[in-house]
Amino acid sequence: MDLSTGRLSDEDTRKYAEKFIGGRGVNAGIAWDEIPPGIDAFDPENRLIVMTGPLTGTAVPGGGRIMFGGVAPQVYPKPRYTRSSMGGHWGSTLKYAGYDGVIVHGRSERPVYLWINDGKTEIMDGNRLWGIDTYSSQKLLVEEHGSEAVAITIGPAGEHLSRIAIIANETENAAGQGGFGAVMGSKNLKAIVVKGKGPVTVAEPKRFLKAYKRITRLISHRGATIDLCGAQIKSLVKSKLDLYQGKYKQKLMACSGCPAACAPGLARVILNVPGKVYPYLNTSVNTCVETRWIGGTGDQYETGKGWGIPHPDYKQHYPELPQDMPVLDFESGFECAVLGNKYGVNMREVTLGIVPWLKLCVDAGLLTEKDLGMKIDIGSGAFWCEILRKIAYRVGVGDSLAEGTSRAADILGKGHKYLTHMAHGYVEHIVGRGIQSALPFPLWVTTALIWATESRDPVSEIHSATRINTRRGLTEAQARAISKKVYGTDKTVDPSYESKALRAIWHQNRGCMKDSLVLCDTVYPMVTSRMTKDYSGYTSAESELFSCITGKEMSEAELDKVGERIFNVERAIMVREGRSKEYDINCGVIKYLRDRPDTEGIKLEEDQFIKALEELYTLRGWDTGMGWPTKAKLQELGLKDIVKELEKLGKLP
């Protein structure tokens, strides 16, 4: 869809699907072909690419997600191509409407939205929706197009080109990281509404059901899955338990066709919570991210043992942080979370980036009431509601904060040492520090390697990369056995930097493949399972599902090879944008982890880490001097176009 000319055209996805499956892979392929290198995120030539995968729209557990790609404004110091993913029902409905994906480029003169109805597409006038929050605009669109329609929209934050603006679906599904909401905003595109009832075929239904049953059995410890936990959910919903003082009704909400429904401890719908600042009854899902305001979700909130801001480890290992991080009362915290969703602000960046940073800057006297233009009361919901409003509408200090915390520190010229941002303009995540400080060495070496070679907070890969964790009930012998089975060596368990690159590569390739199918990282890859005696998982689940649904037989190894191809395309995009080994080393990962010890007092050893990084390049068949994919590797992966262009740029060792 070209918004500059209003021209709509259909493109055959098979051109890319052969090589890249779908989702993240096809996005990368299209980005290589279409996005001019080095352009800004708000350039009309930037693409917003939204793509489903071959498993979208089916009943595959964890198959309710969709991938977004494009040059992302949040990436620091310079916007770069990256991706973001979203759950809910929008992706499957797009598939039912007859489309695998949407590519948006250009810029509309006036606010518009896109209306996709069972194979027909129309650009509609979006004037009356402009300025309206994400919940209300979705409700208006569903009212107009019927209850079966599903919309993604942006809020005021996206309209005001905040670099931390989300694309929202329903109450809390969001393409959050990357700031793609602002990309939509820059194109004057308020929403994409889809409706459809087309079929998704299955080549071998019986085989699918067999795989389905095996998967749901293996994940049944996680939540709402078949029988085992059904009774538990019922009691949760019926009795209200004593959570949240027993005051509010709770439920669970699931993405399309997913029996996992996140874990009840991870995401819960809480109904009709009265706002303290704005007099509304709010109903929303409270997820792991938003509940940082109140210190955790569900049981974590009750017991105080969550990995939230008041987590004891967090205080212990951030001695420089004040002991009284803002923890709001439940109603205020819930209101802030809902408000952030409605404004369309990235709550991860807010609760884990802006909140601690602002608090520390205020405590250190770097930011005063005059700077903020308001009375400072860190422990009150009203204060944070006002900060959120300032961010969404770029009022006063909000104008800087809307650029993301890393850029805000640059603009205001202060507070750099209080940033929780590790690299690429993203808050640290699963590296054994901060709220995930329970992660022991050497697991965080693997995740750090993934961070250093990625374009964003690589959450979809690092979730699973930490599953073989002896702190999660496995004995060391079990961990070694699983490691040997999955990675071919048990050295990944050794407390050293050896073979950590091997593990990083396995999860990167797998992550690319999984995000292309498109599957959810809370379920896949199933490296371990708590439902088996030896904790072993089901790593061929993805290939089994792909084969029985598409009818195209692909082994685990073949799919991993596709994952490798996709990772190399993404790396080639980065190389074309100027990425090299130097950037990987200096992106912030090493500095962040070298300066902050983990819970056992272990810091990152720079020399050994760089050696591990070089090992990663070698194992990938990349040049160890520059960190670039070699000609031989790209040819092996069948990426002829990329070979040609990189050769022309002189970036092909």
Partner 1 sequence: MSKGNGSRRTFVIEKVPESNIIAVDKEVCVGCRTCELMCSLHHNDKFDLSLSRLYVSRSPFEALFTPEVCRQCLAPECYVVCPVEGAMKIDEKTGARLIVEEKCVGCGVCAQKCPWNGENRIIRLNTVKKVYEKCDLCGGAPSCVEFCPVNALTYVSLEER
Name the site residues for partner 1 (rule: CB under 8 A): 57-59, 64, 89, 96, 135, 138-139, 147, 170-171, 197-202, 205, 208-209, 212, 216, 224-227, 229-231, 233-234, 237-238, 251-261, 269, 271, 283
Which CB, 137 or 509, lies closer to partner 1?
Answer: 137
Three-class SS of residue 329? coil
Minimum gap (Å) between residue 232 Cβ and partner 1: 9
Euclidean distance between the first and the last CA atom of the chain, given in angstroms as a whole number? 37
| CB closer to partner 1, 250 vs 509 | 250
Report the 10 Å Cβ neighbour count for 121: 18
Smallest distance, Å, CB 270 to partner 1? 9
Instruction: Give the residue from 307, 310, 297, 397 showing the smallest Cα distance to 354.
Output: 397
Which is nearer to partner 1, 41 or 549 (by Cβ)? 549
Minimum separation from the CB atom of position 198 to partner 1 (A): 8
CB of 16 to partner 1, least distance (A): 23
C-beta of 91 vs 178, nearer to partner 1: 91
Please, what is the minimum distance in Å from the beta carbon of residue 590 to partner 1?
Answer: 42
Closest CA to 433 of 329, 287, 320, 334: 320
Nearest to 105 by CA among 210, 30, 177: 30
Are the CB atoms for 288 and 267 separated by under 8 Å? yes
Angle at 417 between CA 415 and CA 419, to 5 degrees: 80
- HSE, CB side, 13 Å, CA atoms: give it for residue 291: 27
> What is the phi-psi region of residue 445: left when phi exceeds 0, alpha when psi lies from -120 to 50, beta otherwise?
alpha
Question: At closest approach, how far in Å is the CB of 380 from partner 1?
Answer: 27
Backbone angles phi, psi at 545, to 5 degrees: -65, -45
Instruction: From 194, 209, 222, select the one nearest 96 (Cα to Cα).
Output: 194
Backbone phi and psi for residue 370, each to the nearest 5 degrees, phi listed first = -70, -40
Instruction: Output the smallest distance, CB 147 to partner 1, in A.
Output: 7
**93 token code pair:** 């409905």
Q: Least CB distance from residue 119 to partner 1, whole Å?
A: 13
CB of 308 to partner 1, least distance (A): 23
In this complex, which beta carbon is closest to partner 1, that of residue 236 or of residue 566? 236
Please state the closest distance from residue 56 (CB atom) to partner 1, in A: 10
Non-local (6+) Cβ contacts of 407 within 8 A are: 76, 163, 400, 425
Q: In the complex with partner 1, which residue's Cβ is closer, 178 or 257?
A: 257
Q: Which is nearer to partner 1, 7 or 234 (CB)?
A: 234
Helices (H), 295-380: 299-303, 312-317, 330-343, 347-349, 355-363, 369-372
Q: Are 261 and 224 in contact (CB under 8 A)?
A: yes
Rounded to an integer, what distance in angstroms lies between the CA atom of residue 336 and that of residue 354?
13
Closest CB 197 distance from partner 1, rounded Å: 4
For 266-289, letters b (16+ CB in 10 Å) and e give: bbbbbeebebbbeeeebbbbbbbb
Cβ-based nearer residue to partner 1, 93 or 630: 93
Q: Which is nearer to partner 1, 257 or 306 (CB)?
A: 257
Comparing CB distances to partner 1, the nearer of 257 and 563 is 257
DSSP 92-141: HHHHHTT-SEEEEBS--SS-EEEEEETTEEEEEE-GGGTT--HHHHHHHH
Query: C-beta of 88: minimal distance to partner 1 in Å?
Result: 8
Taking the least distance from each CB to partner 1, the nearer of 269 and 585 is: 269
142: left (phi over 0), alpha (psi -120 to 50) or beta: alpha
For partner 1, give the closer residue by CB, 233 or 438: 233
